Amino acid sequence: MRLIRHGEDGLLVPPGDSAAMAAALRRLALDPDLRERLGGAARRSASRLFSWDRAVARMLALAGKHLSAARGG
């Protein structure tokens, strides 16, 4: 699962590529509409991916798996 989708909810740059990082930062600095669009999409994505309901569901599933294994099932 990708947390950041290039151009949808963020900008990705290759690791160690300082020129690409500078270009991405420049693009964001000069384009308030892009900042707003990417920021809004990132907030919605984070709210969906990291909600309390989702975290609780994952914890319950994990606990159930381990309890079942401990009981030999």
In sign, the C-alpha dihedral spanning 64, 44, 4, 1 is: positive
Amino acid identity of residue 24, one-letter, is A
Give residue-wise pLDDT tens across range 12-25. Answer: 999 999 999 999 99
What would the two tokens of residue 9 be?
A: 């909810």
What is d(CA 63, CA 50) in angstroms, rounded to the nearest whole number?
Answer: 19
What is d(CA 73, CA 62) in angstroms, rounded to the nearest whole number?
Answer: 14
Instruction: Indicate the length of the chain as a whole number.
Output: 73
Give the pTM.
Answer: 0.67
Residue of 69 and 28 predicted with greater confidence? 28
Per-domain residue ranges of the chain: 18-70
* H-run or E-run covering 8: none
